[in-house]
Amino acid sequence: MAEITYREALNAAMCQEMDRDDSVFLLGEEVAEYDGAYKVSRGMLARYGDRRVVDSPISELGFAGLCVGAAMAGLRPICEFMTFNFSILALDQVINSAAKMLYMTNGQIPIPIVFRGPTGAALQLSAQHSQACETYYVHAPGVKLATPATPADAKGLLAAAIRDDDPVAVMEGELLYNVRGEVPDEEYVIPLGVADLKRSGDDVSIITHGKMVHVALQAARTLAREEIEADVLDLRSLRPLDADAILRTVAKTNRVVYLEEGWPYAGVGAQIVSLIQDEAFDDLDSPVLRVTQADVPMPYAKNLEQLAKPGVKAVVEACRKALYTAGTPA
Amino acid sequence: MAEITYREALNAAMCQEMDRDDSVFLLGEEVAEYDGAYKVSRGMLARYGDRRVVDSPISELGFAGLCVGAAMAGLRPICEFMTFNFSILALDQVINSAAKMLYMTNGQIPIPIVFRGPTGAALQLSAQHSQACETYYVHAPGVKLATPATPADAKGLLAAAIRDDDPVAVMEGELLYNVRGEVPDEEYVIPLGVADLKRSGDDVSIITHGKMVHVALQAARTLAREEIEADVLDLRSLRPLDADAILRTVAKTNRVVYLEEGWPYAGVGAQIVSLIQDEAFDDLDSPVLRVTQADVPMPYAKNLEQLAKPGVKAVVEACRKALYTAGTPA
Amino acid sequence: MARANREMGAAVAGIEGPEAANGREPAAAAGLRGFSREELHGLLADMLLYRRFEEKAEEAYAIGRIGGFCHLHIGQEGLAAGAIGPLRGDDLVITAYREHTQAIAKGIAPRAVMAELYGRATGCSGGRGGSMHLFDTTVGFYGGHGIVGGQIPLGAGLAWAIRYRGGDQICICFMGDAAVNQGAFLESLNMSAVWRLPVIYVVENNGYGMGTAFARVSATEMEARSGAYGIPAHTVDGQDVLETYRFFEELAGRVRGGAGPQFVNAITYRFRGHSMSDPVSGTYRSREEVESQVEERDPVAILRERLMEAGLLTRGELEALDAEARAACEDAAEFADASPLPDPATLYDHVYAEINPHGRLFLDGRPGAPTGGRARVDGGGRHG
Amino acid sequence: MARANREMGAAVAGIEGPEAANGREPAAAAGLRGFSREELHGLLADMLLYRRFEEKAEEAYAIGRIGGFCHLHIGQEGLAAGAIGPLRGDDLVITAYREHTQAIAKGIAPRAVMAELYGRATGCSGGRGGSMHLFDTTVGFYGGHGIVGGQIPLGAGLAWAIRYRGGDQICICFMGDAAVNQGAFLESLNMSAVWRLPVIYVVENNGYGMGTAFARVSATEMEARSGAYGIPAHTVDGQDVLETYRFFEELAGRVRGGAGPQFVNAITYRFRGHSMSDPVSGTYRSREEVESQVEERDPVAILRERLMEAGLLTRGELEALDAEARAACEDAAEFADASPLPDPATLYDHVYAEINPHGRLFLDGRPGAPTGGRARVDGGGRHG
Ligand SMILES: Cc1ncc(C[n+]2csc(CCOP(=O)(O)OP(=O)(O)O)c2C)c(N)n1
Ligand SMILES: Cc1ncc(C[n+]2csc(CCOP(=O)(O)OP(=O)(O)O)c2C)c(N)n1
Ligand SMILES: [Mg+2]
Ligand SMILES: [Mg+2]
C-alpha cells in the first residue's frame, strides 16, 4: 500500500485494466502525446503505443459516438472528456446511443464504455467551465455513474467501471487530482453500488458524493468541536445507488443534510430527498436539508465564486438547523 | 372565445406576437414550406414570408446557436425543435450560451429566445423518440420552462414566453395538438409562474404538469367514484415555479402525488418532493408519492409501452396509497 | 446476406462481348456484362422481395398492425441490393431509420423484420425497437438509428474496431441526404480520414429530407461535402442496381485493401411520403415529379425491363419470382401476426447488461422493477 | 475601434511609387504602400499595446492577481490589429477565449479588460466573466466564449440579425484551428452559405490546439475546409499586419457589399504556452521551433523593422510609442488593482433579465436568493 495521488490512482486503474484486457483503449483530447490535459494518462502512450492511447480532434460528439460504436463491436473504450463541461456536446451520443442501445437491441449490443474526466468547479474558471454534470448523467436509465472522492476509491471504482458491461460515467475532480492517500498496489476493484461511511457519528447524517466528501469531513470536524457528531456517507456511485446505506444512516441519526456541488433544481440531492421521505418517512425528525451550489451560473470573481460554491460553513449551518440548534426551521 | 385545438392556439400565439413585434421570427426544421412537421405553423409562411418563417437544415446545435446569436443582437427568435428529443444535440448552446450569457456579460446581453416543440412520448415511437426532456431544461439556472396542458394555456403561456426577456423553453405534447378547448380570441397572455388548479378536492393533491394534467384529471374522476376528491394542480411553468400554490394544496390535503411523464431519477418530481418536505414538513400526513415513467428507455411494443408510461391506474393507486386506503405504505 | 451475394458465376453467353447478336451489342445488354443469369435473377428477386415487403408493411400499418413512425424504402431498393449485396457476411452495416430492406439485404429474415415492425417478441429486436431500430449482430446489421446523423459516429466506431483488431472487414454507414448537415458528419468523416478507417459513407440521396429539398439547405452539390476531409467522393445511380452493385463490389474491395474511407453520393428517389403519416406529394414536391420518377426511375422496373429486353427474363419467370416474393412477405406477416407480444415481465430487462449485486439501479420503486442488493446477471451480458 | 482604424490619409511620400530613392523601391517599403506614416505608427502602437498588455497580464497572473484560465495572444497580435482594425465601429466581433487583445482592438479600454481579468466590478463583464468572457456590446464586442467552437453558430446568428434588419454591418467570427473539427463549424458555415450571411470566419491558425498539431487531427489543409459549403477560402499571413490589414479592409468591403460569407485561414503562431499553466514548449513542439518563430515571425518586430528600414520610424519614436503602451498597461493594472470586487449582494443579479412577478425562479432557498412573488425587474432587462 503506497501513498499516491488521486491522479496516479486513476492512471493505475487504467493500466491495471489495459494490462489484463487488450480490448480496453483510451481515447480523448490530449491523452497521448501531451500525457493528458491534467496528466492523468502520464506515460500511457509510451507504455501502450498509439494504437491504444489515442489523441482525438476536438469533436466531443464525434469521438464519444466513435467510442460507442467501437463498444458496439465489442471493444471497451475509455473515453476521456477533458472536462465533463464539454461532454454536453456529446450528450446525444451518451443518452440516445450508449444508454438506450442495449434496450433497443433487446440485449444484443451491450455498451461497455467508460466516460471519464473531471466535473464541477475548479478555481475561477467561470460559468462555462465550472458545471457539475451529474444530473445529465443520472437522469436517463442505461448509464451508471461513479464519483470517487479519494485515491483508493479512484483506483477501485474506475477499475470496476472499466470491467462493467454497461456505460459508466466516472466523474472526477480537478481539485482532487493532487490529493494523496493510501492505495492498494495490487489488483483493486471496488464494486459499484456500495456507499462508504467515511466518518461515523450519531447526531446528523451528511450524505454526499465526489469532491464534496472532503467538505463534508471538514464540516464534521467543525461540528465535532461543538460536540455534534456527524455520519459522513459517501455514496461513491450514484447509479447504482446504495439505498440501504442511506436508509441506515437516516435510521441512525434521523436528521440529514445532502451536500452536492451542482445546482439544486432536479439535482442528485432532490432524488435522495425523495427516496428518504418515501422510504424512511417516520425516521425523519426534521426535513432533509440540501446544500448546493447557488442557483446561478458560476461567476468568475473570487468573492462571488466562493459565495456560489457550497462550503463548509453552509454545511455546518445546515447540520445545526437540522438539529434545531439554529432555532426553528424556516 | 372560440373552441380551437391546442395546435391552433400555439399558432395563434405566435401570430399574435409576430404581429406586434417585427423582431420575432420562427426558425426550425419544416416550419415554413411544410407548415410544420406537426402543422403548428400552418399558414405562417404565407402570412409572414420567408424572412420571418424559416426552414432550417437538420442542424440542431447550429440553428439553436444561430438563434441564440440572433437574440444576442436583440432579435426574439422562436426556435422550433421538431421534437425536444432532438434538442439534446443542441443542449450545449442552450446551457452554455443561452442560459449563461446574461450572467457572464453582467447583464449586457439578454437572450429573449423561445425554444419550443413537443416533448415526451407519443405512440410507439420507441426509445430515441419518446423522451421527456424537462430535467435537461430546468437543471441549469438561466432558462425558464413552461408546459401548457390546454389550448388556452398554450396560447397564453407561449405568448408570455415570447415576450419574456429570458430564454424560455415551451414544451408541448404531440398527443395534445388535437385537443380542443375554449381559447380567448383577443390578445391573451398568461404570466409565467402561476399554477392553475384544474380541479378542486380536499382529500389528496395530484400535482403535475403538461400532458399529464389530462391523466391526473381522469384519475381524479375515477377517484371521485370512490368518494375521494382530488385537487389537481397544474404547475404550468416549472421555472418560475409556483411554490405558493404547491404549499397551498399540500396544506389543504396533506397528501400528495407528483405525476410526470419523465424518468424518476432527478426528475421534476424529485425537486417538488424536496420543496414540499422542506417547507411543509409538518403538513404531510404521508410521504409524497411519485408516479413517473418506468425507469427504462421507452420500448416500442404496444404492451410494454403502456406498462412503461405513467397512467391513470398508477395515479389512482398512488392516491389510494397516500390515503392509506391501500393498506400500510411499503 | 441477400441472395444476390453469391459467388460470381460465369458471365451469360450472348451479352459477353462485342461479338453479340448481329455484331452490335444491344443497349440493354451493355449494362448486364459480368453478371450471370442466375445472379441477375437473384438481384431481381431481392428487389422484388424488398418492394413487396414494404408494400406489406404499408398495408399492415394501414390496419393498425404496425405503429409509430414507419419509413418505407420503396423506390430506393436498388441501394439495399446494390450496396449491401456485394458485402461479405462479416462486413458491418449501420444506417438510419428507413432500413427495413437494408436489414433484409444484410441477412435478417423477413419474418424477424416484420415481427419487429409488429412489436412482437420474435422480432429481430424483440419488439423493443420497432421500425426504426432493427438489429441483428449475428449478420452484421447494427441498426436502425433514429436521430438524424446519430449513426455516423457509430459507423466510424465500428470501423475503428475493425482496424483495432486488424480485421479485413469493412463497414458501410448509410445516411440520408439531410444528415450531411449534422455536425456529426464533419466530426466522423474527419476522424475517419485521419485514422484511415475502413468505412464507406453512403448518402441515399433521395433529394429530400422530409419536405426539404437538398438544394434549399445546401449551397453546394453533395459531392462537395467530403473533400474537406480528403475523402474521395463518388456518385452512383442508385436506381441502376447493376451499376450500383458493380460499383460497390469494386469499392468494397479497395477499402478492404486499405484505401481508407470513401464517400458515395447514391442518387435515388423516395416513391412514398416521408413516413406513413405524410402524403406522397405536397407543397415540397409535385405529383408530376413523383409520377415521372415512378414511371422512369423505378429500380425494380429498370432491371426487369432490361432483363426482358435482353431476353434473359420471361414473363413467366418474372411472375414466379414475384409470387415467391409475395409469398415470403405474406408468410412474414402471418408469422408476425401469430407471434406473441413481449412478456410484460421483461419490461426491465436489457436496460443494463450487468445488474450490479449492490445498490439500486432502478429508481422508480415500481413493483416489477428489479431492486438493489439482488445479484441478477442479465442474459444480455457478455462479461468475460 | 483600435487606433489604426482611422481615415486612410494620404500615402507617405517616398514609398509611393517606383520613382523611389535611386529608382528602385526598397523591399521594406513595398509592403507599406497605401499606408500613411501616421497609420503605420498607429498600427505599431496598437500592437505594442497588445503585447505589453499581455505581458502585464502574465505578470499579474504570476502573482495571483488573475485566476482561472488565462490564454495569452502573444505572437498573434497582428490579427487583432489587422483584422479588427479595418472594421467599422458598428461591425460585430465574436471570438473564443484567447481574446484580450481582440477586445481592446474592438474598442474596450485596457482598464476595463484588465479589471475583468482581475475579477473586479469595473471589468467589462463586471468581474463575472473573467479572461475567457470579455464583452462590451457598446463597441460591438460579443465575447469571449469558452466552449471550443461554441461561438461559431453565435457568430452566424449575429450576422443573421444584421441581414434580418437590412443593416450593412458585418460580423467577424474568430476561431482557433482546432475549432474547425467541431460539428458546429459545418452547421454554421452551411447555414451561412445558404442564407448568404455577412460573416467572415477567421481561423487564427497558430498550428496547434493545445498540444495537438493541426496535421495530427486533419487529413487536409485548412483551406480545404470551407469549400464543402461553397464558401471561398483565403489565406493571409497574420504575422504581416499590413498585409492582414489590407486584406481584411478589402474583404470586409466585399462582404458589406453582399459577397456572402468568407473563410480566412490566417497563419500565425502562439509564442507562449496554451494557457498560463502550460509550458511554452514540450512534447508537442520543440524549443527550437518556438525560438525560430519568435526570432523570425514576431508580428511586432516585423512591422518595427520594416518601418525602421524604410526610414519611417526612429529609435526615439519607437521608444516613445513603447513607453506609451507600457504606461497604458501599467495604468490598467493599477486601475484594476484599485477597483472593488463585485458586491456580494449581486450574486443573483443577471441570472434572469426579467424576474417574473409570480413563482420562484431560484430553487436553492438560500438567504440572499430572490424569492418568488416579488416583482423585481432587473436593470439588465430590455423589455420593450
Ligand atoms: C436530429 C434529428 N432531427 C430531426 C429529426 C426528424 N426527422 C426524421 S427523418 C428527417 C428527415 C431526414 O431526411 P434524410 O436524411 O434525407 O433521410 P430520408 O428520410 O430522406 O431517408 C427528420 C427531419 C430526427 N429524427 N433527428
Ligand atoms: C468543447 C471543448 N473541448 C475542449 C476544450 C478545452 N480546450 C480549450 S482550448 C483547447 C484548444 C483549442 O485550440 P485552438 O482552437 O487551436 O485555439 P488556440 O488555443 O490555439 O487559440 C481545448 C482543447 C474546450 N474549451 N471546449
Ligand atoms: Mg432524404
Ligand atoms: Mg490553435
Say if residue B168 is in the same domain as residue B35: yes
**Per-residue pLDDT at D367:** 79
Pairing relationship of beta strands A76-80 and A114-118 according to DSSP bridges: parallel
Of A131, A141, A274, the CB nearest to B296: A141
Residue B267 belongs to some domain of the structure: yes
Say if residue A112 is in the same domain as residue A222: no
Given strand A196-199, what is the order of strands in its sheet? A196-199, A230-234, A204-208, A256-259, A289-291
Pairing relationship of beta strands D141-144 and D171-176 according to DSSP bridges: unpaired
**Per-residue pLDDT at D177:** 98
- Choosing from A30, A129, A229, A317, which is the catalytic residue? A129
The residue to which cell 415526451 is assigned: B120
Which residues in chain B show pLDDT less than 70? Answer: 325-330
The answer to whether the beta carbons of residues C263 and C235 sit under 8 Å apart is: no
- Of all protein residues, the one whose alpha carbon is nearest to atom 17 of ligand 2 is D176
Pairing relationship of beta strands A76-80 and B2-5 according to DSSP bridges: unpaired
> Which positions ≥6 away from D277 have C-beta within 8 Å?
D69
CA angle, B291 as apex, B288 and B297 as ends, to 5°?
140
Cα(D183) to centroid(ligand 2), Å: 14
3-state secondary structure (DSSP) of residue A198 = strand
CA distance to partner chain B, nearest, from residue A187 (Å)? 33
CB spacing of D160 vs B70 below 8 angstroms: yes
> Which positions ≥6 away from C266 have C-beta within 8 Å?
C79, C83, C202, C203, C204, C205, C235, C236, C237, C238, C244
Distances (CA, A) of C232 to C189, C202, C224, C366, D226: 11, 12, 10, 53, 16
> Which positions ≥6 away from B80 have C-beta within 8 Å?
B26, B27, B28, B29, B31, B36, B40, B41, B116, B117
Residue type, D346: T
Could you give the CA distance from residue A322 to residue B15 in angstroms, rounded to a whole number?
Answer: 52
Could you give the CA distance from residue D114 to residue B228 in angstroms, rounded to a whole number?
Answer: 66
Average pLDDT over residues A306-310: 98
Does residue C209's CB lie within 6 angstroms of at least one atom of ligand 1?
yes
- Of all protein residues, the one whose alpha carbon is nearest to atom 15 of ligand 2 is D176
The answer to whether the beta carbons of residues C264 and C250 sit under 8 Å apart is: no
Segments of chain C assigned E as strands: 92-95, 141-144, 171-176, 199-205, 208-209, 212-213, 233-237, 262-267
Interface residue of A277, A288, A290 to substitute, partner B, most B CBs within 10 Å: A277
**Per-residue pLDDT at C1:** 40
Say if residue B110 is in the same domain as residue B163: yes
**Chain C residues near any Cβ of chain D (below 8 Å):** 181-187, 190, 193-194, 216-220, 224-231
Query: Catalytic annotation on A17?
Result: no
Q: In the beta sheet, which residues pair with residue A205? A: A231, A256
The answer to whether the beta carbons of residues C66 and C344 sit under 8 Å apart is: no
Say if residue A282 is in the same domain as residue A166: no
- Choosing from B8, B17, B29, B60, which is the catalytic residue? B60
**Per-residue pLDDT at D31:** 76
| Total structural domains within chain A | 2
Q: What is the DSSP letter of C355?
A: B
Q: Which residues of B touch C113 (CB under 8 A)?
A: none
Cα(B49) to centroid(ligand 1), Å: 24
Could you tell me the three cell numbers for D343? 458586491
Ligand 1 atom at shortest distance from the alpha carbon of B86: 1
Say if residue B149 is in the same domain as residue B240: no
Of D181, D190, D194, the CB nearest to C187: D181
Residue A188 belongs to some domain of the structure: no
**Is the CA virtual torsion A101, A102, A108, A112 positive or negative?**
positive
Could you tell me the three cell numbers for B294? 418506468
Is the per-residue pLDDT at D9 higher than 70? Answer: no
Of B34, B128, B301, the CB nearest to C210: B34
The residue to which cell 456517507 is assigned: A233
CB spacing of C182 vs D185 below 8 angstroms: no
Say if residue B286 is in the same domain as residue B156: no
Query: ipTM of this model?
Result: 0.96
Cα(C98) to centroid(ligand 3), Å: 10
Does residue C210's CB lie within 6 angstroms of at least one atom of ligand 1?
yes
The upper half-sphere exposure of residue D375, i.e. CA atoms within 13 Å in the direction of its Cβ, equals 2
Could you tell me the three cell numbers for C245? 452493385
Distances (CA, A) of C192 to A66, C161, D9: 10, 12, 52
The upper half-sphere exposure of residue B30, i.e. CA atoms within 13 Å in the direction of its Cβ, equals 22
Say if residue B172 is in the same domain as residue B208: no
Cα(D96) to centroid(ligand 2), Å: 9
Ligand 2 atom at shortest distance from the alpha carbon of A58: 3
Could you give the CA distance from residue A126 to residue D144 in angstroms, rounded to a whole number?
Answer: 12
Residue type, C251: L
Could you give the CA distance from residue B139 to residue B137 in angstroms, rounded to a whole number?
Answer: 6
Least confident of A33-37, A100-104, C1-5, D305-309: C1-5
Kindly report, residue by residue over A20-37, the tens digit of the pLDDT: 999 999 999 999 999 999
Say if residue B223 is in the same domain as residue B102: no
Say if residue A168 is in the same domain as residue A283: no
Q: Which residues of D touch C216 (CB under 8 A)?
A: 194
| pTM of the predicted structure, to 2 decimals | 0.96
Could you give the CA distance from residue C262 to residue C234 in angstroms, rounded to a whole number?
Answer: 8
The angle, 0 to 180 degrees and rounded to 10, between the axes of the packed helices C299-309 and C241-256 is 110
Could you give the CA distance from residue D264 to residue D238 in angstroms, rounded to a whole number?
Answer: 10
Residue A171 belongs to some domain of the structure: yes
The answer to whether the beta carbons of residues A232 and A253 sit under 8 Å apart is: no
By C-alpha distance, which of B74, B59, B73 is closest to B27?
B59
Higher pLDDT pick, D33 / B80: B80
**Per-residue pLDDT at D197:** 98
Higher pLDDT pick, D321 / C32: D321
By C-alpha distance, which of A158, A243, A128 is closest to A194?
A243
**Per-residue pLDDT at D230:** 98
Interface residue of D136, D192, D361 to substitute, partner B, most B CBs within 10 Å: D361
CA angle, A83 as apex, A79 and A87 as ends, to 5°?
65
* CATH domain D32-345 topology: Rossmann fold (3.40.50)
Buried b (16+ CB within 10 A) or exposed e, B105-133: bbbbbbbbbbbbbbbbbbebbbbbbbbbb
Segments of chain B assigned E as strands: 2-5, 24-28, 53-55, 76-80, 114-118, 144-146, 168-172, 180-183, 196-199, 204-208, 230-234, 237-239, 256-259, 289-291
Say if residue A49 is in the same domain as residue A92: yes
Domain boundary (B183, B204, B230) is at B183
Say if residue A220 is in the same domain as residue A264: yes
State the greatest distance between any 2 C-alpha atoms of chain C, in Å, as a whole number.
82
**Per-residue pLDDT at D29:** 66
Query: Tens digit of pLDDT per residue, chain C (384 long)?
Result: 444 443 333 334 333 333 444 444 555 566 788 999 999 999 999 999 999 999 999 999 999 999 999 999 999 999 999 999 999 999 999 999 999 999 999 999 999 999 999 999 999 999 999 999 999 999 999 999 999 999 999 999 999 999 999 999 999 999 999 999 999 999 999 999 999 999 999 999 999 999 999 999 999 999 999 999 999 999 999 999 999 999 999 999 999 999 999 999 999 999 999 999 899 998 899 999 999 999 999 999 999 999 999 999 999 999 999 999 999 999 999 999 999 999 999 999 999 999 999 999 999 998 888 865 433 333 332 332
* Chain-centre distance for alpha carbon A270: 16
Buried b (16+ CB within 10 A) or exposed e, C364-384: bbbeebbebeeeeebebbeee
- Domain span at residue A275 reads 196-324
Average pLDDT over residues A72-81: 98
C121: nearest CA partner in chain A: A106
CB spacing of D186 vs C190 below 8 angstroms: no
Query: Catalytic annotation on A129?
Result: yes
Interface residue of C95, C141, C164, C355 to substitute, partner A, most A CBs within 10 Å: C164
Whole-angstrom distance between the N-terminal and C-terminal Cα of chain C?
A: 29
- Residue A269 sits in a domain whose CATH number is 3.40.50.920
**Per-residue pLDDT at A229:** 98
CB contact residues (below 8 A), chain D span 4-63, against chain B: none
**Is the CA virtual torsion B262, B263, B266, B271 positive or negative?**
positive
**Per-residue pLDDT at D368:** 79
Residues with beta carbon inside 6 Å of ligand 2? A 29, 58, 60, 82, 86, 89; D 98, 146-148, 176-179, 204, 206, 208-210, 270, 274
Whole-angstrom distance between the N-terminal and C-terminal Cα of chain D?
A: 29
CB spacing of C351 vs A59 below 8 angstroms: no
Q: Which residues of B touch C182 (CB under 8 A)?
A: 58-60, 89
Q: Which residues of B touch D123 (CB under 8 A)?
A: 106
- Of all protein residues, the one whose alpha carbon is nearest to atom 25 of ligand 1 is C147
Of B104, B265, B330, the CB nearest to A139: B265
Best mutation site among D210, D214, D217, D280 for ligand 2, i.e. most ligand atoms within 8 A of its Cβ? D210
Is the per-residue pLDDT at D238 higher than 70? Answer: yes
Whole-angstrom distance between the N-terminal and C-terminal Cα of chain B?
A: 48
Say if residue B106 is in the same domain as residue B207: no
Could you give the CA distance from residue B136 to residue B262 in angstroms, rounded to a whole number?
Answer: 11
- Residue B76 sits in a domain whose CATH number is 3.40.50.970
By C-alpha distance, which of D133, D213, D137, D201 is closest to D170?
D201
Residue A33 belongs to some domain of the structure: yes
Q: In the beta sheet, which residues pair with residue B232? A: B199, B206
The answer to whether the beta carbons of residues C48 and C300 sit under 8 Å apart is: yes
**Which ligand has an atom closest to residue C149 CA?**
1
Kindly report, residue by residue over A241-291, the tens digit of the pLDDT: 999 999 999 999 999 999 999 999 999 999 999 999 999 999 999 999 999
CB spacing of A139 vs B135 below 8 angstroms: yes
Best mutation site among B82, B89, B126 for ligand 1, i.e. most ligand atoms within 8 A of its Cβ? B82
The answer to whether the beta carbons of residues C332 and C53 sit under 8 Å apart is: yes
The answer to whether the beta carbons of residues B328 and B210 sit under 8 Å apart is: no
Q: In the beta sheet, which residues pair with residue C92? A: C171
In chain D, where the domains are located: 32-345, 354-384
Does residue B58's CB lie within 6 angstroms of at least one atom of ligand 1?
yes
Q: In the beta sheet, which residues pair with residue D209? A: D212
